[in-house]
Structures are given as structure tokens and as C-alpha cells.
Structure 1
Amino acid sequence: MIKRWKADAMDIRVLRYFIAAVEAGSISGACSRVHVTQPTLSRQFMDLEEELGHKLFERSNRRLLLTPKGKLFYERALLITALFDRTKAEMKAEEELAGEIRIAAGETPCLRPLARAIARLREEAPLVSVVIVSGHEEIVRSELHSGVTDFGVFIGDVDLSQYGRISLKERNRWGLLTRRDGELAGKTSVHPEDLLRGPLVASLQASQNNELLSWLGKHAQEIRVAAHFNLLYNAYLLAEAGVGNVLALEGIINPEPKSNLVWLPLEPELSAGVSVAWVKDHVMTPAAERLLALLREEDAA
């Protein structure tokens, strides 16, 4: 007897249906988004659960709730569809400079050469678009490893042996955002022992930065950390409110003259280098290759 062929339940189309159902909160809500009838969607989700061997939804009258396996599958579905869309766009863009370049980056003014390179690329190739995801080192590494990001920007002395990279010439000074009327009022620079005079607000990456820990020396274990942050503007607001002094690179946020905050450099001076990295042996798109070439030119200028 010839067995009837059955399409794989986990194809790109069904993954998009699944994502739509999760975002809409119901199968009926997904129907209007993907223009498929409710019985058809319900049947395809049942086939998907059968193929995976796990329930993905807890079904109720009001809302679809994801099971733990469903949450994991949703994350993977987002990644798979993003990679598929990216690959399809890259295939179409082989004959010309077009498509999307994705960059995961820590916050630093040292990215001006990259910004200028992007501007030049856009002049040459208006069909190229750029997506920049801001985040600390762990986020940047995760973006690179996932395969959805072309370049990662790393700040400070980090292990990049598994990547190709360009180390930019410019460096960033570390300093402290502190209240003008606070514990460090009247000072023009900050020494390691000064950080003991009030609570600290530090980025997740700075808390593990070997260069900073070495600069702090014997005081490293005595620091009181009031809060951690990912993006600096939120920490800026904490400093304004008096939660603590913020360890920050120079030039990311410049306090306004009327602000009650001031940025003070660390003394002895401590600066951080910046590297633009990519996965070794990864086949770059023509647009990404051109951006890399322009970045080398801008950094050498």
C-alpha cells in the first residue's frame, strides 16, 4: 500500500501562523492576520504539536497561554523565520548592493567611523538598510552567534579570538556621572577611593570589566552597587534622582548646563578600546563586505 505523503507540519508558513497566534493571543485573532480559517489553523497546530511531541498551548476560552515548551518554540520560531527572511533577501541582492545589514553594538561615541561608513554606503547603495541593536557584551555575542547579525561592536578588553575584527583607533575615557551637590562636589576627577563615598550605578558589562577592577585595586570589594543598567539614559535618570553615581564612558550622554549632573574623568586615566567583530569564515553579503571596506578607510583617515 502506498503511504500518502504528508507535508512537514513545521514549515515556514506554519511557523508564521504560530507566531501570529501567540502575538494575537488567540487562534481566532490570528485568522484575520494570516487570512486562514480557524479550523485550518487549529488542525495545523495539532499536527505541529504531534510532530514535536509536546503541547505548545494551554487552550482556554479567553486566551492562548504558552506552555514552557511553547515559549521555547516561539523563541526559535522567531529566529528561524528571521533567518529565512534574511537569507531570501540576501539571495535576491546578490547582483547589487541591497538588503539589510544588522549590527549589535555597545554604546560608544567611538562608533563615528562606523557611522560615516554607513552614510557612505547608503550614498552608494540606497537599497541597503541598517539595523542597529544596542546592548552589552552578552547581547552582542548572542546576536553574532545566532547568525542574524553581521557585525558586533565590543567595548573594552574582551576575548575576541573566535572572531575576525577591526580594532578602532579611537578610545573612550571612563568617568563618573555624579550630582553637582553630591559627595564629590567640587572635584575635577575621580580616584578609586572616591567611589566608596556613595553608592554606584554600573552597567552589567562594567561590573565584570577586568580593566575597571584592576583600576579599583583593593577597593573593588568595598564598592556598594545600588543598581545595574543596560542602556545609559536610564542610569542617567537614576543619577539625577540621587540613587547613585554612574560609571559611564565619556560622550555618550553630555549633561546639559542646567543639569544637576556632571561627568568627571577617572584618575589615573582609564580608557576603553572598541572593536568591530564578525564571525570567522562567515560568508558576508556584498553589502556587508562593502561596509567593512568603508569602515577600514574611515578608521584609517
Structure 2
Amino acid sequence: MEVRVLRYFIEVVQERNISNAAKRFHISQPTLSRQLMDLEEELGITLFERGHRQIKLTQEGYYLYERAQEITGLVDKTETDLQSQKIISGTLDIGAGESTAIQPVMTVIGTLLKEYPDIKINLVSGDSDLIYQRLNNGTLDFGIIMGPEKLLNYHSISLPQNNIWGILVRKDQPIAKKKKITPQDLIGLPLLTSAQSKQQDIFRSWAGSLINRFNFIGQYNLIFNARLLAETGACLALTYKNLINITGTDLVFRPLTPAVTDQNNLIWNKNRQLSNVAQLFLNRLKEVQ
């Protein structure tokens, strides 16, 4: 399975057309079709459902497409890192969840981009599962993990700011009149929370036995979409303070009391050597800690 052929395959999927993909690579359509058929024969699978005007992937095709992007991404990153050891250049790959508390990290990155124009940045948004996966397969240099996590297999630095939990709620709902929200206030109300916080069960110590009377109606991955649902008045959204701009909306944020906070940790793989640009970023971040 050659990386070159995987790039062909990715381009075909993204173009949804073999002819267009062939033009992008300056090869003939029959040649590209033959390469893909050879790939199918090599793997013993069928990648495309034949007979469609547009490309339609099989289940095996979808799996290979996801893995092919990871493989080619890792190859590109490795080549870039190897070629840029003598100068400050290359791509800094950082994954993180949504939080305004990671602003110090972005400040350091912004400074580096101004000082070293050859540096590129790749920001990946995702939950802890995605970040761990990409740190382990080498497609991320660093990850920012929020909340209680086991970090034994990673180097880590605690970032200075914490995330403050509260609720997004419509202004016209009775609970919006409260300045701070107690566990008793949430009993029976429809609650939407992030998938990661639900997995970590971070509200149990705050609410105690009352959490068994909470009505968790679902979970979200990105707060923007959860905000739209909260605006309908169908639920309250548990989220971080200042995570999303609600100016001009029908929503207000109310913090939990006693306060519930999450720490932010910058982590990186103990078993992988950092590139020169990644090491420079880490050194700069330590200076401002």
C-alpha cells in the first residue's frame, strides 16, 4: 500500500469524480482507475460502489479514507520536521477542546508566528478521546486536556487559568433570575451537558445525591449547536463561562455555586521526540508560566 496511491484515493473521494482527480495529479483517468483497482486487489476489498455517476464509498472505503488521511498527514509532518531541523520552521500541531482559558497558549503561538514566518499552525478542536488518539499516533505535537484526567503516559504543564462551569438559560425562564445556581435549582430541569463532562461525571461531587434527580436529556460536542437549542427554551446547557458570545441573544450565563472549575493541562507524548518548532513553543510557554 503506497502513500502515493493513498493520496490518489483521498483526492478521488474529495473530488467525488475520478476524472477531476486525475487532472489534479496530471495523470490519465485510465491510469488512476487502474491504480485504485490495484489497491482494491491488494487489500482484498471493494472501495467504491460501482454504477454511480458520483463516487460512493463502501463501508471499507470509508474506513480506509479516514486512515489514509492520518497516514498521509503523518508522512507530511515527518518530512516537514526532518527538512526543517536547521531552521525554525515547520508545523505546530495542537489539539484542544473549547475554552477561553487556553488564551495564554494562543498568545505564545501568535508571538512565534510573528517572529518566524516559516512556522505554520494546525489547530484541531476535539474532545479528550480525539486528542489522546492523535497524540499517540503522532499527528499532534501537543494537546490541551480539560478536567480530571489520568496523565501518567504524558508530560504535562498546568495552565494558569481554570474553566468555570455554569448554565446557559433563556432570560425569560425563572431560574435566570438567580445570580448563582445551586444543585437544588436544577432538580427536574432538562439539562444538556458536554459529552466529556458526562463521561467524567464531574458534577456528582457538587450535587451529591441530588444528581440522581437531575434530568440529563442529552449531550453535545460543540457548544455553538447546544446554544441554539438552549435558545429555544427546551433545555439548559451546562458549559464554561465566556465560552461563547451570547451578546444580543436571549440567553444569560449563571455560574454554579459552590463553584465547579476544571483545570487545563498542556500534554505531550513521553515517547515521541519534539520537533524544533514544538520545542521552541514549549520553551516559550514555560517562560510565561
Same fold flag (TM > 0.5): yes
Structure 1 SS opposite 2:66: helix
Structure 2 SS opposite 1:120: helix
- 1:207 is the counterpart of 2:198: yes
Structure 1 SS opposite 2:101: helix
Long gaps (5+) in structure 2: none
- 1:85 is the counterpart of 2:76: yes
Q: Which residue is 2:99 aligned to?
A: 108
Structure 2 SS opposite 1:103: strand
Per the TM alignment, residue 278 of structure 1 is displaced from its structure 2 partner at its CA by 0.6
Q: Which residue is 1:262 aligned to?
A: 252
Per the TM alignment, residue 122 of structure 1 is displaced from its structure 2 partner at its CA by 1.7
Long gaps (5+) in structure 1: 1-9
Per the TM alignment, residue 79 of structure 1 is displaced from its structure 2 partner at its CA by 1.1
Q: Which residue is 1:279 aligned to?
A: 269
- 1:73 is the counterpart of 2:53: no
Q: Which residue is 2:121 aligned to?
A: 130
Instruction: Please tell me whether the aligned partners of residues 152 and 276 of structure 1 are also in contact (alpha carbons under 8 angstroms).
Output: yes
Per the TM alignment, residue 56 of structure 1 is displaced from its structure 2 partner at its CA by 1.8
- CA separation in 2, counterparts of 1:73 and 1:211? 36
Superposed counterparts of 1:128-277, under 5 Å? 128-256=119-247, 258-277=248-267
Per the TM alignment, residue 225 of structure 1 is displaced from its structure 2 partner at its CA by 2.2
Instruction: Please tell me whether the aligned partners of residues 226 and 243 of structure 1 are also in contact (alpha carbons under 8 angstroms).
Output: no
- CA separation in 1, counterparts of 2:52 and 2:191? 48
TM-score in terms of structure 2 length: 0.94
Per the TM alignment, residue 169 of structure 1 is displaced from its structure 2 partner at its CA by 2.4
- CA separation in 2, counterparts of 1:13 and 1:208? 40
Instruction: Please tell me whether the aligned partners of residues 199 and 225 of structure 1 are also in contact (alpha carbons under 8 angstroms).
Output: yes
CA RMSD of aligned residues (A): 1.6
Instruction: Please tell me whether the aligned partners of residues 200 and 226 of structure 1 are also in contact (alpha carbons under 8 angstroms).
Output: yes
% same residue: 39
- CA separation in 2, counterparts of 1:32 and 1:40? 11
How far does the alpha carbon of each residue in 1:252-280 deviate from its partner, in whole angstroms, 9 at most, with x for none? 12432x43221111111111100000111
Q: Which residue is 2:10 aligned to?
A: 19
Per the TM alignment, residue 61 of structure 1 is displaced from its structure 2 partner at its CA by 4.7
Q: 2:47 aligns with which of 56, 60, 64?
A: 56
* Alignment length (residue pairs): 289
Structure 2: which amino acid aligns with 1:194?
D
Structure 2: which amino acid aligns with 1:287?
V
Instruction: Please tell me whether the aligned partners of residues 183 and 198 of structure 1 are also in contact (alpha carbons under 8 angstroms).
Output: no
- CA separation in 2, counterparts of 1:173 and 1:189? 12
- CA separation in 2, counterparts of 1:58 and 1:239? 41
Structure 2: which amino acid aligns with 1:14?
V
Cα 1:88–1:196 change in 2 (3 A) is: same
> Mean Cα displacement is larger for which, 112-121 or 55-64?
55-64
* Bigger radius of gyration: 1
Structure 1 SS opposite 2:139: coil
Structure 2: which amino acid aligns with 1:123?
K
How far does the alpha carbon of each residue in 1:94-136 deviate from its partner, in whole angstroms, 9 at most, with x for none? 1111111111101112112211211222233121111111122
Instruction: Please tell me whether the aligned partners of residues 56 and 70 of structure 1 are also in contact (alpha carbons under 8 angstroms).
Output: yes
- CA separation in 1, counterparts of 2:95 and 2:66? 18
Q: Which residue is 1:3 aligned to?
A: none
Per the TM alignment, residue 154 of structure 1 is displaced from its structure 2 partner at its CA by 0.6
